[in-house]
Amino acid sequence: MLGRPMLTVGVVAVALVLGEPGADVTARIQQAEAASARLDFSAALKEARAALALGHADARQTQRLFALIAELSASMGYADASAEAFAKVLVLVPAFDLPPNASPKLRAPFAKAKALAKNERLTAVPRSSLAGTVVHTVVALSGDPFNMVKGSRLWHRVGGKPVALEVPKADGTVDWACTEAPCEHFLQVVDDFGNALLEVGSPSAPLKVVAPQVVTVPDGPPPEVATDERGVLQRPLPWAIAAGVLAAGAAGAIAWSRVTDARVRDMEARPPVYTYAEYQGALGQRSAGVGLGIGCAVAAAASAATAVVVAF
């Protein structure tokens, strides 16, 4: 028997009536798989197609039926039909793949299916806006190379009961009443039979509509914003920054003078070790460090004082 293709990604299943998937569809799938196990491919294919015709399949069941039809068609020598069914699965679930031990009878139409699908993916993007108690929903559809989509079905609750609204494919818009925020709902994209091809949201993870925020504008002219029209040198911040920089420079210069002072003392303690030029150079560095430190300290103090004066 041919290897059974398995979907490699999970898909959230949402039943048409917000409960378990249709029992009639489940029974048909089981009968088709049982017939396939008996190698009665003709009967299995008939059951799979009959399950689709019921129109009660959720998205996961629809994808499973297309994969089963593709496998059965390949086993009966209908390579083109198999490729088309596989391509539909790929449009719905691009991650779909055959098992490693799949028969060459499956691999040939599957390779053709990839070319037919052209990396397309069926997507639906619903956008909703709330005005009072009326929600306006627009559904943008794309990626339907086989024209599988008839329209969409929007589910919401009225009085605690699930209600479905048909969203036509032509304009993709629908208006519906919502009296309880956040207007929970979810969407099914359906085929001509009514089977779900794609689901956006679910009963357990519904989409929500957020009401637009209302901004209250006070009467009268806008409040005046205070601005500082003084020049740069008439403001305290630049002087405070300068004081900080100069203070840091003073600290660095004093630290350097201490290092050179220690070196001078070492030279004076061990005169034979150093040359006279080295001693004179060390003295100059010590004097320069002390002078720079004192200068920076004086300038920092002056800058700080100026900052205080211009601040007041």
Q: Give residue-wise pLDDT tens across range 95-147.
A: 999 999 999 999 999 999 999 999 999 999 999 988 888 999 999 999 999 99
Is 176 in a helix, a strand, or coil?
strand
Distance, CA of 101 to CA of 247 (rounded, Å): 78
Q: Per residue in 60-91, pLDDT tens?
A: 999 999 999 999 999 999 999 999 999 999 99
Burial class (CB in 10 A: 0-12, 13-18, 19+), 73: buried
Distance, CA of 258 to CA of 236 (rounded, Å): 33
Give strand pairing partners of 138: 127, 173
For position 91, what pLDDT does the model report? 96
* Predicted confidence (pLDDT) at residue 277 exceeds the cutoff of 90: no
Q: Which range, of 29-43, 165-179, 263-277, 285-299, averages the lowest pLDDT? A: 263-277
For position 2, what pLDDT does the model report? 41
For position 110, what pLDDT does the model report? 94
Both tokens of 152, joined, read: 């969409």
Other Cβ atoms within 10 Å of 263 Cβ, number? 18
Both tokens of 247, joined, read: 């203070």
pLDDT-derived band at 260, boundaries 50, 70, 90: confident
Distance, CA of 155 to CA of 11 (rounded, Å): 18
Nearest to 123, CA basis, from 153, 164, 92: 92
Radius of gyration of the chain (CA): 40
Classify each residue of 203-241 as buried b or exposed e, where b means 16 or more C-beta atoms within 10 Å of its C-beta.
beebbebeeeeeeeeeeeeeeeeeeeeeeeeeebebbbe
| Top mean-pLDDT range of 123-127, 166-170, 216-220, 260-264 | 123-127
Give strand pairing partners of 245: none
* Predicted confidence (pLDDT) at residue 42 exceeds the cutoff of 70: yes
pTM value is 0.61
Kindly state the DSSP code that residue 178 receives in the 8-state scheme. -
pLDDT-derived band at 235, boundaries 50, 70, 90: low
For position 221, what pLDDT does the model report? 64
Distance, CA of 220 to CA of 70 (rounded, Å): 71
pLDDT-derived band at 180, boundaries 50, 70, 90: confident
Nearest to 210, CA basis, from 266, 127, 98, 306: 127
**Beta sheet of 196-200, edge-to-edge order:** 161-168, 151-158, 185-190, 196-200
> Strand 185-190 relative to strand 134-142: parallel, antiparallel, unpaired?
unpaired
For position 47, what pLDDT does the model report? 94
Query: What are the C-alpha distances in Å from 49 to residues 38, 53, 106, 114, 194?
Result: 18, 6, 19, 22, 14
pLDDT-above-90 percentage for the chain: 42
* Predicted confidence (pLDDT) at residue 6 exceeds the cutoff of 60: no
Mean pLDDT over 248-257 rounds to: 73
Of residues 139 and 310, more confidently modeled: 139
Both tokens of 220, joined, read: 């009268």
Which residue's entry shows tokens 């053709």? Answer: 112
